[in-house]
Amino acid sequence: MRNFELYTPTRVVFGKDTHLQAGQLIKAAGGHKVLVHYGGKSAEKSGLLEQVCKVLEEEGLSYISLGGVKPNPRLSKVYEGISLCKKEGVDFILAVGGGSVIDSSKAIGYGVANPDHDVWELYTRVRNAEGCLPIGAIVTIAAAGSETSDSSVITNEDGWLKRSCHSDAGRCRFAVLNPRLTYTLPQYQTESGCVDILMHTMERYFVNIETMEIVDGMSEALMQTVIYNARILMSEPGNYNARAEIMWAGSLSHNGLMGCGTGGGDWTCHQLAHELGGMFDVTHGAALAAIWGSWARYVYEANPERFAQFATNVFGISCDGMDFEKTALAGIEALEDFFRSIEMPTDLKGLGLELTDEQIQELAFKCSYEDTRTIGAFRQLNRKDMEKIYHMANGNSISRI
């Protein structure tokens, strides 16, 4: 067993109508002047924003609001939020939305708490965060798990670079998880979120080192739960129990528990998908689905036994009479079949993309940080490897070696 650290300080309040406790939770966390940060018009149309503002007023909390967060949240909105918080003396940020809103809130919090530097420097790893305004989240999309993680991902419109920052300073003080708030989501967003949750677990699961049996078991159970309930939501979008299972899985998948003893995970698919999101503004979960099969076929020979374990323990594919390689490939195909069953893409064409050689080279150049880094833990990949995986996902025939 390898050494590891687990830090999960976020208070989780789960269940029906729990968003009505937001004011009490903010006061308990020491907040007085609140920035209510949210995305598009859905929070307004559903009445959620009005409800949230009302409970803040009932608790005697002063607040201002800032909407307009887009999927693949923009640095320009972060700068706007930082300026507004400084001007208004905000001491607490309440994120009302999904991962994009929470990530934008964290970035704003970093910017206010680190006033002497450009917040983008945290995302380019020039410096580390020295603090963050306290943040709470009312989650409306089960997907990113940002409500219980240390991560935040922001897109810089100057060059369309999508970069992440990881800091315990930005962890939410509380996360309100009310599955009913996800009822109004379009099916595509719901299922894309399910893929993101699944992939947060799989990025930690697919490592080429000895892992802990107990963590593997939890990860495999979580993956099975997401797959089972994602299928239910295709035909029963109003199924509360299925939405509750998915919402809790989203937090568990990304709070660090599934990474204990795994050496940190692989994260290649996330890195490759981030560049797709940055350049083409595609939905993150869908981008992960589109790239995963190509990555898996490119790297599985580094440890086919691990992929065979996934095939057997998650999909029930027997390895009896089959070698590890055949079982591994059967498991890859089974996951792609699942993606298709929930109308998620398995290649870039399914994202509406048909990339040129020049675009693929640009994606790999950005993903490799201008050819200065490799990515991956299951198999370490350089810029040329990244190009080949993008080509495979693009439907181009290439050599995996």
Please determine, for residue 253, whether its predicted confidence score (pLDDT) is greater than 80.
yes
Query: Which pair of tokens denotes residue 383?
Result: 């810029």
**Full-model pTM:** 0.94
Q: Which fold has domain 187-393?
A: Dehydroquinate synthase-like, alpha domain (1.20.1090)
| 320: confidence class by pLDDT, cuts 50, 70, 90 | confident
Kindly report, residue by residue over 78-95, the tens digit of the pLDDT: 999 999 999 999 999 999
Kindly report, residue by residue over 5-62, the tens digit of the pLDDT: 999 999 999 999 999 999 999 999 999 999 999 998 888 888 999 999 999 999 999 9
Every domain range in the chain assigned CATH 1.20.1090.10: 187-393
SS (HEC) of 39-99: CCCHHHHCCHHHHHHHHHHHCCCEEEEECCCCCCCEHHHHHHHHHHHHHHCCCEEEEEECH
Q: Which fold has domain 11-181?
A: Rossmann fold (3.40.50)
Q: Which pLDDT does position 102 carry in this prediction?
A: 97
Kindly report, residue by residue over 336-383, the tens digit of the pLDDT: 999 999 999 999 999 999 999 999 999 999 999 999 999 999 999 999
Average pLDDT across the chain, whole number: 96
Query: Which pair of tokens denotes residue 213?
Result: 């049996």
| 399: confidence class by pLDDT, cuts 50, 70, 90 | low
Cα three-residue angle 72-77-78, rounded to 5 degrees: 90
Please determine, for residue 201, whether its predicted confidence score (pLDDT) is greater than 80.
yes
Distances (CA, A) of 178 to 13, 225, 266: 8, 18, 31
Closest CA to 359 of 269, 367, 296: 367
| 242: confidence class by pLDDT, cuts 50, 70, 90 | very high
Every domain range in the chain assigned CATH 3.40.50.1970: 11-181
